[in-house]
Amino acid sequence: MLARPLAATSLLDAVKDLRRDVAVTQFPLTIDGTEAATASRDRLLDQLDEHLVPRLTELSAPAVVVVAGSTGAGKSTLVNSLVGAEVSSAGVLRPTTRRPVLVHHPLDAELLSHHPVLESVEVVADEHVPRGIALLDAPDLDSVLESNRESAHRLLEAADLWLFVTTAARYGDALPWRVLEGAVERGASIAMVLNRVPSDSLPTVRGDLLSRLRAHRLEGSPLFVVPDMGPHEGLLAPAAVAPIHRWLTMLAGPDRARTVIGRTLRGSLSSLREWVEELAEAVQGQADAASTLARAIDDALETPAQAAAEAIRAGGVADGPVRARWAELSADGGPLHGVVSSSGKVRGSGRTGRARALAVAPLSADLTRSTAAALADAGARTEVSLRSVLTSKDAPAGGASLAAAWPRDGAASRRTAAAELAARGWTAQGPRVVRAGLAAKPDDEVAGRALARVEKGRAKAVKALGEDGLAAVALTGASGVTEAATLLVALLGPTGQRMIDDLVLDLADRATAQARLERTAVGEILADPDLADDAAARLRLRLAVLKGLT
């Protein structure tokens, strides 16, 4: 076989590249036009897979003539009559599993061998079929079986020429004309067969049909009339189909077949550009909707994020186990009772201080659990708030589908794990803040004896509770237990208050971050490549290449 010309090779490569990018194009958001865009993408894939790629791959393959029509139009009888043999089952009572039949000349078998349509048809070789064409008897367009209807439409996409069969009784049905409108959009070559026409009504029916053809931009399509033969079985008389047979034989000539193939190919490529442009617009619509949703979510996030921080500053962590534990430790006889006397003197050091530090240690575990619970609750509230924005009646386009794609499974465990990690990080800050505070120089105005008193007071506080005990008290005060904050200030003065302020600020920041984690979860969906700002660029690039080649 001769090498394919460079231009044809380039065009084939461009169409294959386009097919690859169209196949991976998805529409994650349900917005106006999504359903139509999905159907258009699927039809475009059918056109590429069934016609353009196979035809460009093998330009010398026979022209595929698909014989199509509604139930009872006489398609199979026509095909059999044109071939002169029963190659396709005819009759009203057909098996519902009937496969389409493709008939070709035996010498064309090799040229057709790689055509994808062969995977779904019964192939018959018959020398009565002129070389250069292949007749394909398609299922009924209005079959009671959806699979047959889908097969019929898919096979039409494979056609180089549509031979559309209708009858004098049914040529006005809406379905055939809708299909023919699609053929015109696709740039297909079309011929019509008006079957079973009574002689007395021929002028009227033929004139009406020609008017309809003109109205549907099909005025140049050949029209063949097969007279009504009355009740009969088997093949039609050769004279009845002779005009169609002569026309197909003429088309089968190398130059004429190539002309039909080229005309349909040019029409398909021309319509392809419009389809790809529409598909690119639909993809851009998805990207624009995603940007609008992202802004809406970001705006909606501020309220629950601020609320989470406010709940921390209001002492939300202290409620429950932490406050109960503090009450137990500071009650009469408890290890923290009377650490600072009414006169401000710090009591206890040495073994007493170490014992207190050990007694206070369980506070850290309570704080970690309570903090984790508070942070997880902040996340859960944020999720509810964001979902309500996506599903409200005023939600931006695509909001409901984004909310549906936002997985609920695993959200609680993910949120809990993040909250526990943040809680442990916060309680670990306690000892660091205390050590930093104890090591920091007092305010500049503190000097001389006052400086010595501050340093002495810090030393007593460490002896009374130890650094870890002071950290537990500081964390408890920051969580919202006022008595703990008061004790720390009594022990360390302004330094103790600064420790608490730093820990409150840190925990409020962690609460805000926990709320923002919920934005991350939905953000992963919006990060879909099909929703990127430049998602349509790949299709527009393929379109530019096609325009340059065609």
Identify whether residues 242 and 318 lie together within a single domain.
no
Same domain for 507 and 379, yes or no, is yes
The answer on 351 and 276 residing in a single domain is: no
State the Cα torsion 329-333-339-343 to the nearest 10°. 130
Domain-located, residue 340 = yes
Q: What is the pLDDT of residue 531?
A: 96
Does residue 372 have a pLDDT over 90?
yes
Averaged pLDDT, 91-114: 78
Enter the tokens of residue 32: 């106006």
Q: Are 374 and 519 members of one domain?
A: yes
Does residue 546 form part of some domain?
no
In terms of domains, do 274 and 298 share one?
no
In this prediction, residue 505 carries a pLDDT of: 96
- Measured in residues, the chain has a length of 550
Look at 351 and 230; give whichever has higher pLDDT. 230
Asked whether residue 274 falls in the same domain as residue 333, the answer is: no
Q: Report strand pairing: 133-137 vs 101-104.
A: antiparallel
CA distance 63 to 60: 9
Would 288 be classed as within a structural domain?
no
Question: Quick one: CA torsion of 251, 254, 260, 261, rounded to 10 degrees?
Answer: 140
Examine residue 287 and state whether it is found in any structural domain, yes or no.
no
Last residue of a domain, one of 259, 280, 301: 280
Predicted confidence (pLDDT) at residue 434 exceeds the cutoff of 80: yes
Tell me which of 250, 280, 310 is where a domain ends.
280
Task: Please check whether residue 264 lies inside any domain of the structure.
Answer: yes
Indicate if 183 and 306 belong to the same structural domain: no
User: Would you call 32 helix, strand, or coil by DSSP?
Assistant: coil
Instruction: Tell me the mean pLDDT in the region 84-88.
Output: 90
Q: What would the pLDDT profile of 118-132 be if each residue is shown by its tens digit?
A: 988 999 999 999 999
The reply to whether 207 and 339 lie within a common domain is no
Domains held by the chain: number: 2
Yes or no: say if 321 and 369 are a contact pair by the CB < 8 Å rule: yes
Q: Which domain holds residue 431?
A: 293-539
Question: Residue 61's domain is classified under what CATH number?
Answer: 3.40.50.300
Most confidently modeled range among 148-157, 194-203, 370-379: 370-379
Has residue 545 been placed in a domain?
A: no
Statement: residue 432 has pLDDT above 70 = yes
Pair 395, 497 in one domain: yes
Residue 158 and residue 186 share a domain: yes
Question: Could you give the percent of the chain with pLDDT greater than 70?
Answer: 92
Residue type at 500?
I
For residue 155, tell me if it sits in a domain. yes
Which two three-digit tokens encode residue 124? 């018959």
pLDDT at 192 over 90: yes
In tens, the pLDDT along 467-477 reads 888 999 999 99
Q: Which of 280, 312, 344 is the last residue of a domain?
A: 280
Instruction: List the end-to-end C-alpha distance of the chain, in Å, as a whole number.
Output: 25
Indicate if the pLDDT at residue 349 is higher than 60.
no
Rounded Cα distance between 39 and 43, Å, is 6
* 375 and 502 housed in the same domain: yes
440 is a domain residue? yes
383 and 437 inside one domain? yes
- Mean of the per-residue pLDDT values of the chain: 88
